[in-house]
Amino acid sequence: MRLTCFALSAMLSIVITTTACDSGDVKGPQGGQEADDEVNAVAEAIDFGSAAGIQGPRPTPDDGPATRASSSFSESLTQRITDDLRNGEDIVVTSYVAMWYEHSESPSENLYWGALYGHEAMFRPGRYSEIRRRLPFVEVSRYDKLVDIERTTDPLRIQVLAASIPRDVDDAESTGRLVVVNLAYHDMKRAAMDMGIQLRTGRLPAAASEEPEVRRYLEKSYLIGYWGHNVYYNGANVDCLERVPVSRDDGPRGVFMVGCQFARWFPQKFRAPGIEPLLFTTTNMAPEAYIALALYDGIARGLPRTDVRFNVAEAYRVYQRLENRPMSLFVNEWSDIEKSMAVLPDCPEHLSTR
């Protein structure tokens, strides 16, 4: 049975978009060479992380020390962003955008990419006046396209977008940039897995990193996330990311997962010392790009985490035409995420070994 979640999207009128949130209907590698590739990808990531020799503890829902440490990690991540902005460094966000089922091999027509509120469509220059009118609180919203690559295998599209961030620092104007690397994937499970591996080990998706102008931004990225169908929906453990040792130690990092109930299924896969939540969702929703605009704006301006959540909830209220700001739909503290987090099942047998 398919459980359907509704996302109300509006511009001139309310448009109802349905998204399936059923673990039994996730399209992706099921057998043959593609399934073998998936097994190998996880196994290689485990080897890659183990070889680095930095295998911090893997927190569980009952792991108290990780929860107690989250405040200091949060301050460190905020400080890292603030310091980079002060020094005029690029703040790089890597976004893995999993294509919706329909037109999944044609991003230009896909609900989550080229459609009205997709992650390519909303960053077009022609949308700037609309965004300024509807989301005046989003100060960082004018993006230039630096890279636009079309491919026949995942990621099908690679876009690099950049927005200037003028701000006053110590009475002197300092200008940095927010850079967003958008990677569009046909295979949802591979998108989630590649994202998790980059977050935990720093290993980049091979196809994207082959492009020199893309690789240099990916290597700088410590804010990494996923937009799309929750491949773990209803308790499906489709990979072994939680077994990949956390070998990346270049400083505090941030993660976001936006789609159907990511605060429930399974934030444990993306939780480890040094990794802090930027945004997780508590309900069924389509991962539309006005949420991304508000999230990236909060990051770019170095807002406190409570204000980032406010930003996102207000953008959602505006585009969904809601009366009240739905703060409860978004969480970005481990202590709040734990209230929704389901128990993670054992790693699938066929993925736990080569």
- For the chain, the helix, strand and coil percentages under 3-state DSSP, each to the nearest 5: 40, 20, 40
Asked if pLDDT for residue 32 goes beyond 50, the answer is no
Is pLDDT larger for residue 205 or for residue 49? 205
pLDDT of residue 45: 59
Residue 199 pLDDT grade (very low, low, confident, very high; cuts 50, 70, 90): very high
pLDDT of residue 134: 98
Asked if pLDDT for residue 257 goes beyond 80, the answer is yes
Whether 226 and 257 have beta carbons less than 8 Å apart is answered as yes
pLDDT of residue 352: 53
* Helices then strands, each counted (H, E), the chain: 10, 10
Burial of 8 per CB tally in 10 Å (0-12, 13-18, 19+) = middle
pLDDT tens figures, 127-162: 999 999 999 999 999 999 999 999 999 999 999 999
- What average pLDDT does the chain have? 82
pLDDT of residue 19: 47
Helix 289-300 / helix 305-320 crossing angle, nearest 10 deg: 150
Longest CA pairwise span in the chain (Å): 61
Asked if pLDDT for residue 17 goes beyond 60, the answer is no
What percentage of the chain exceeds 90 in pLDDT? 66
pLDDT of residue 168: 56
> Where is 86: in which H helix or E strand?
helix 64-86
Q: Round to whole Å and give the CA distance between 5 and 152.
A: 30
pLDDT of residue 348: 76
How do the domains of the chain map onto residue ranges? 30-352
pLDDT tens figures, 68-103: 333 444 558 988 998 888 888 999 999 999 999 999
pLDDT of residue 8: 33
DSSP 25: G
What percentage of the chain exceeds 70 in pLDDT? 75
Q: Which of 229-238, 245-254, 285-294 shows the lowest per-residue confidence on average (mean pLDDT)?
A: 245-254
pLDDT of residue 349: 72
Is pLDDT larger for residue 65 or for residue 302? 302
Nearest to 149 by CA among 101, 217, 226: 217
Q: Round to whole Å and give the CA distance between 5 and 242.
A: 27
Stated pTM of the model: 0.84
Torsion angle in degrees (nearest 10) through CA of 27, 33, 37, 40: 130
Residue 108 pLDDT grade (very low, low, confident, very high; cuts 50, 70, 90): very high
Is pLDDT larger for residue 174 or for residue 195? 195
